[in-house]
């Protein structure tokens, strides 16, 4: 299941992703993965196949919120942000890619993994907003409430 924005923003215009999500029920099946953030496309079964992205992610087997990026050249694998998702609690997420050499990720207005370089400078874009839940097996389906998802640009022309 995915939600991919119709609107896209060139990487040169510094896209900023904002979303507020609530895990109504996270799901306990390790076969369930959810990613959300900036991407150049979606994929029906495998978020890792998306070639250009900066994501927050959660693997259904735990409560860790991870951060990751890929631009076709440089990849940062899912890294624990040390922030956990809490069922039935809204959390605010931002991805600031105004500097594609070093994107900044925030959860509830606090920067996470500030010492990690999320480099998407080799990406060609354009970037879109994406929320994607993939499930390879099992009967359990998570319930995620998407309050809002925005894609902003620093291009004021």
- Compute the mean pLDDT over every residue in the chain, rounded to the nearest whole number: 88
pLDDT digits (tens, 9 = 90+) for 86-108: 889 999 999 999 999 999 999 99
- Is residue 157 one of the residues assigned to a domain? no
Mean pLDDT of all residues in 66-87: 95
Total tally of structural domains belonging to the chain:
1
Q: What is the pLDDT of residue 33?
A: 83
> What CATH number does residue 39 fall under?
2.60.120.200
Mean pLDDT of all residues in 148-157: 80
- Is residue 72 one of the residues assigned to a domain? yes
pLDDT digits (tens, 9 = 90+) for 22-60: 987 766 666 778 889 999 988 766 777 789 999 999 887
Mean pLDDT of all residues in 7-23: 93
Tokens for 78? 């899912």
Q: Which helix (H) or strand (E) holds 150?
A: strand 143-152
- Is residue 144 one of the residues assigned to a domain? yes
Percent of the chain with pLDDT over 70: 89
Model pTM? Answer: 0.91
Range(s) of the domain holding residue 41 = 2-152
- Is residue 109 one of the residues assigned to a domain? yes
- Is residue 116 one of the residues assigned to a domain? yes
């Amino acid at each position: 299941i995915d939600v991919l924005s119709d609107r896209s923003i060139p990487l040169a215009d510094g896209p900023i992703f904002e979303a507020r999500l609530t895990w109504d029920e996270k799901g306990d099946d390790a076969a369930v993965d959810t990613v959300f953030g900036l991407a150049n496309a979606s994929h029906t079964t495998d978020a890792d196949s998306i070639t250009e992205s900066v994501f927050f992610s959660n693997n259904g087997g735990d409560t860790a919120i991870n951060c990751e990026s890929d631009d076709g050249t440089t990849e940062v694998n899912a890294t624990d942000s040390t922030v956990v998702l809490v069922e039935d609690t809204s959390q605010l997420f931002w991805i600031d890619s105004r500097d594609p050499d070093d994107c900044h990720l925030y959860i509830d207005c606090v920067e996470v993994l500030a010492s990690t370089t999320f480099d998407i400078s080799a990406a060609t874009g354009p970037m879109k907003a994406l929320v994607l839940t993939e499930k390879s097996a099992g009967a359990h389906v998570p319930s995620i409430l998407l309050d809002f998802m925005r894609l902003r640009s620093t291009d004021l022309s």
